[in-house]
């Protein structure tokens, strides 16, 4: 642990009584960067805490993720297997089954808990794919688009035409067709959502990258001989990050809703329960017999999670861009 004082200066002469402390060397640039980053994070957290809705969202998210991670502890996975279901199907709430049972006699609560795992997994992974593609396309298009050479603008144009197609073709039909073709599985859903939702991110990132490209330190980097990859990775990307972070969180909200919709339409994994799949099954088999809990529970869960992500995303945006504060 370095002994850098709060002002960043070093303390070469130990105070009386502390002679045993060794004199600390001048901090390296890396150490300085780390300290500054830590201070920036502390400042960020302090600002974020002031946003009550953001804090609410964060708490809800923490609870959800905890439940998802602790699923094996909270509810036995045997409860997911219809073979072992012994309770009366479509039963109302009871002590053993707080949220009732589904058409197979499985506990809705168990399904809900394990469903949170899959729903969150799909949401987060699909978002990861979407953001990776979107950021890559956006940074590359923005970087090469600001080069004066023909080839640069051509790259930008080609990438943007491709992005435009993904923006113009509506998400749901495209996702439906791809999911139907590639088969019903969680992996397919993740892939499909990821591959069809990156266009919006790409647009936003490209706009930001173009703005960053005009800044002087990029010119300096080029003059010093930095290659394209170095410029993009070391200079453009870090400056696009804050925008990207908020966009990511908001995208998760969208991907979870997308998964819910696709699963409801019967395109999801029939074996691994997600909240969307529960809703689909509840609609087909449960509603007719009056089993409302099966329908309401996953719906409310989805609302809570999506709301939480949205609130956190907006709070992040507000903290990172002071102009958006106090909304």
Partner 1 sequence: MSVILDGARSSGLARTLAVKVVSAVVTLFFVLVCNFFLFRVLPADPAKNLTHNSALTASQLAAINRTFGLGLPLPRQFWNYLVQTFHGNLGRSFVNQLPVAQLIGQALWPTILLVGSATVLSTVIGIWIGIRGGWNRGGRFDKTSTAFVNVLYAMPDFWLGMVLLIAFAGSALRLFPDGGMHNFTGGSTGLAGVADVLWHLALPGLVLTLVYLAEYSLVMRSSLIDELKADYLLTARAKGLRDDLVRRRHAVPNALLPSVTLIMLNLGFVISGAITTETVFSWPGLGRLSYVALNAPDYPTLEGCFLLFSAAVILANLIGDLLLTVFDPRVRQA
Site string for partner 1, 128-167 (x = CB under 8 A): ---------------------------------x--xx--
State in angstroms the smallest separation of the CB of 125 from partner 1.
20
Q: With contacts defined by CB under 8 A, how many residues of the chain interact with partner 1?
A: 38
State in angstroms the smallest separation of the CB of 82 from partner 1.
23
Answer for which of 181, 214, 216, 322 binds partner 1 (CB under 8 A) is 181
C-alpha to C-alpha distances, 106 to 90, 91, 93, 180, 298, nearest whole angstrom: 9, 10, 12, 28, 14
Q: How far apart are CA 63 and CA 59, in angstroms?
A: 6
Backbone angles phi, psi at 19, to 5 degrees: -60, -20
User: Is the CB of 240 or the CB of 279 nearer to partner 1?
Assistant: 279
Q: Which residues contact 76 (CB under 8 A, 6 or more apart)?
A: 110
CA 113 to chain centre: 20
Candidates 21-29, 190-198, 222-230, 293-301; binding stretch for partner 1 (CB under 8 A): 293-301
195 binds partner 1 (CB under 8 A): no
Q: Across-strand partners of 107?
A: 101
Q: How far apart are CA 112 and CA 106, in angstroms?
A: 11
Answer for which of 32, 87, 299, 320 binds partner 1 (CB under 8 A) is 299
State in angstroms the smallest separation of the CB of 204 from partner 1.
14
User: Is the CB of 79 or the CB of 313 nearer to partner 1?
Assistant: 313
State in angstroms the smallest separation of the CB of 303 from partner 1.
5
CA 190 to chain centre: 13
User: Is the CB of 121 or the CB of 182 nearer to partner 1?
Assistant: 182
User: Is the CB of 164 or the CB of 219 nearer to partner 1?
Assistant: 164
Judge whether 113 and 64 are in contact, CB under 8 Å. Answer: no
283 binds partner 1 (CB under 8 A): yes
- Tokens read off for 53: 């809705």
| Burial profile 9-37: b = 16 or more Cβ within 10 angstroms, e = fewer | eeeeeeeeeeeeeeeeeebeeeeeeeeee
Site string for partner 1, 240-279 (x = CB under 8 A): -------------x---x--xx--xxx---------x--x
First to last CA, the chain: 40
State in angstroms the smallest separation of the CB of 4 from partner 1.
40
Site string for partner 1, 306-325 (x = CB under 8 A): xx--xx--------------
Of the candidates 91, 85, 88, 82, the one whose C-alpha atom is nearest the C-alpha of residue 291 is 91
State in angstroms the smallest separation of the CB of 73 from partner 1.
28
Q: How far apart are CA 8 and CA 283, in angstroms?
A: 62
Q: Is 29 helix (H, G, I), strand (E, B) or coil?
A: helix
State in angstroms the smallest separation of the CB of 308 from partner 1.
9
State in angstroms the smallest separation of the CB of 267 from partner 1.
8
Q: How far apart are CA 245 and CA 309, in angstroms?
A: 12
169 binds partner 1 (CB under 8 A): yes
Binding site for partner 1 (CB under 8 A): 161, 164-165, 168-174, 176-177, 180-181, 253, 257, 260-261, 264-266, 276, 279, 283, 287, 292, 295-296, 299, 302-304, 306-307, 310-311, 326-327
């Amino acid at each position: 642990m370095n002994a850098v004082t709060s002002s960043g200066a070093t303390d070469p002469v130990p105070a009386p009584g502390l002679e045993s402390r060794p004199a600390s060397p001048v901090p390296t640039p890396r150490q300085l960067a780390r300290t500054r980053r830590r201070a920036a994070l502390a400042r960020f957290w302090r600002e974020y805490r002031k946003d009550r809705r953001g804090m609410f969202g964060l708490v809800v998210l923490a609870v959800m993720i905890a439940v998802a991670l602790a699923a094996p502890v909270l509810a036995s996975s045997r409860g997911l297997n219809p073979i072992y279901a012994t309770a009366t199907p479509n039963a109302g709430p009871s002590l053993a089954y707080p949220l009732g049972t589904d058409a197979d006699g499985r506990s809705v609560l168990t399904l809900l808990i394990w469903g949170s795992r899959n729903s969150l997994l799909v949401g987060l992974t699909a978002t990861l794919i979407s953001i990776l593609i979107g950021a890559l396309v956006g940074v590359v298009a923005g970087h090469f688009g600001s080069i004066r050479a023909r080839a640069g603008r051509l790259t930008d144009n080609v990438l943007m035409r491709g992005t435009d197609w993904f923006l113009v073709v509506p998400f749901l039909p495209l996702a439906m067709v791809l999911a139907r073709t590639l088969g019903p599985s969680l992996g397919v859903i993740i892939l499909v959502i990821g591959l069809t939702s990156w266009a919006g991110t790409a647009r936003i990132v490209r706009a930001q990258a173009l703005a960053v490209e005009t800044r002087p330190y990029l010119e300096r980097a080029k003059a010093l001989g930095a290659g394209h990859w170095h410029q993009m990775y070391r200079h453009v990307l870090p400056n696009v990050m804050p925008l990207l972070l908020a966009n990511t969180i908001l995208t998760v909200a969208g991907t979870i809703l997308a998964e819910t919709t696709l699963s409801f339409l019967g395109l999801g994994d029939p074996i691994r329960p997600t909240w969307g799949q529960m809703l689909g099954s509840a609609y087909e088999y449960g509603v007719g017999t009056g089993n409302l809990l099966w329908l309401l529970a996953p719906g409310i869960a989805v609302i809570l999670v999506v709301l939480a992500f949205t609130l956190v995303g907006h709070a992040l945006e507000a903290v990172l861009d002071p102009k958006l504060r106090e909304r």
